[in-house]
């Protein structure tokens, strides 16, 4: 696995990275105006109490685990997206088709949520696929932090393998950057954030979504 960083390349290049088993980092997946509107909409939902403390596990074993993750999430419902969210969803659809063409993975659709990491929050090293449920195939993370600067923390730490914690690369959660990788394979972690860190995180799935 390699981490490939792109600036001005097409969505096809991201799909090719996935086909090669690499982690794709694309800055400017969406433009700054969209990032700011999405962020403001998300912060309004946060103020209205529309985020829940994120849990770990699946089904009956789902539980709060503040030593593992401290983010808050708001599930997105495909049927009731705002106009701004729809603009992003259209691009995510283009990417889904492109990955299907490059990999024959048969990705059916995406599920996803907004996530907010208040100052002091993190998400320890993990993979995104549950042991007994492998419908999540490809992870995407879109960063909604237009004013991120060095020292704000909250970098995404991507490990090169599952068993060597000394070999990794950090990705800055700058507004508009999209990170994409194979959900089952890539061990990753969110370092402690010093500011309100926002993302739109989701997964392309092989089956229709249901909420865990």
Q: Would you tell me which residues interact with Mn ion (CB under 5 A)?
A: 128
Phi and psi at 138, nearest 5°, equal -130, 130
**First CA to last CA across the chain, in angstroms?**
29
Q: Which of 190, 196, 204, 205 binds ligand OGA (CB under 6 A)?
A: 190
Token pair of 210, please?
């249901």
Residue 14 contacts ligand OGA per CB under 6 A = no
Map residues 137-166 to x or -, x wherever contact with ligand OGA holds by CB under 6 A: ----x--------------x----------
* Bridge partners (DSSP) listed for residue 204: 110, 138
Q: Which is nearer to ligand OGA, 12 or 185 (CB)?
A: 185
CA of residue 110 relative to chain centroid, distance: 11
Max Cα–Cα distance, the chain, nearest Å: 44
Nearest distance, CB of residue 101 and ligand OGA, angstroms: 26
Q: Which residue is nearest to ligand OGA (CB)?
A: 156
Residue 128 contacts ligand OGA per CB under 6 A = yes
Select from Mn ion, ligand OGA, none the partner in contact with residue 115, using the beta carbon and a kind-dependent cut-off of 5 to 8 Å: ligand OGA
Q: Which of 116, 188, 202, 209 binds ligand OGA (CB under 6 A)?
A: 188
Residue 201 contacts ligand OGA per CB under 6 A = yes
Whether residue 123 contacts residue 190, with contact meaning beta carbons closer than 8 Å, is answered with yes
Distances (CA, A) of 88 to 11, 29, 37, 193: 13, 9, 11, 25
Residue with tokens 């996530």: 115
Chain positions contacting ligand OGA, by CB under 6 A? 115, 123, 128, 141, 156, 173, 188, 190, 199, 201
């Amino acid at each position: 696995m390699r981490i490939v960083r792109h600036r001005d390349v097409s969505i096809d290049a991201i799909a090719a990275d996935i086909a090669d088993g690499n982690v794709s980092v694309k800055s400017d997946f969406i433009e700054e105006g969209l990032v700011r509107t999405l962020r403001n909409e998300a912060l309004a939902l946060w103020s209205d109490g529309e985020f829940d403390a994120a849990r770990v596990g699946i089904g009956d074993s789902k539980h709060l685990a503040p030593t593992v993750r401290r983010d808050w999430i708001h599930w997105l419902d495909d049927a009731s997206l705002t106009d701004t969210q729809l603009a992003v969803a259209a691009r995510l659809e283009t990417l889904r088709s492109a990955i299907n063409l490059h990999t024959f993975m048969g990705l059916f659709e995406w599920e996803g949520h907004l996530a907010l990491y208040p100052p002091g929050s993190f998400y320890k090293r993990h993979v995104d696929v549950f042991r007994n449920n492998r419908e999540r195939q490809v992870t995407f993370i879109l960063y909604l932090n237009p004013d991120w600067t060095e020292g704000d923390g909250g970098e995404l730490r991507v490990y090169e393998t599952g068993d060597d914690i000394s070999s990794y690369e950090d990705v800055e959660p700058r507004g508009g950057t999209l990170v994409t990788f194979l959900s089952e394979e890539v061990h990753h972690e969110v370092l402690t954030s010093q500011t309100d860190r926002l993302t739109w995180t989701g997964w392309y799935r092989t089956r229709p979504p249901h909420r865990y």
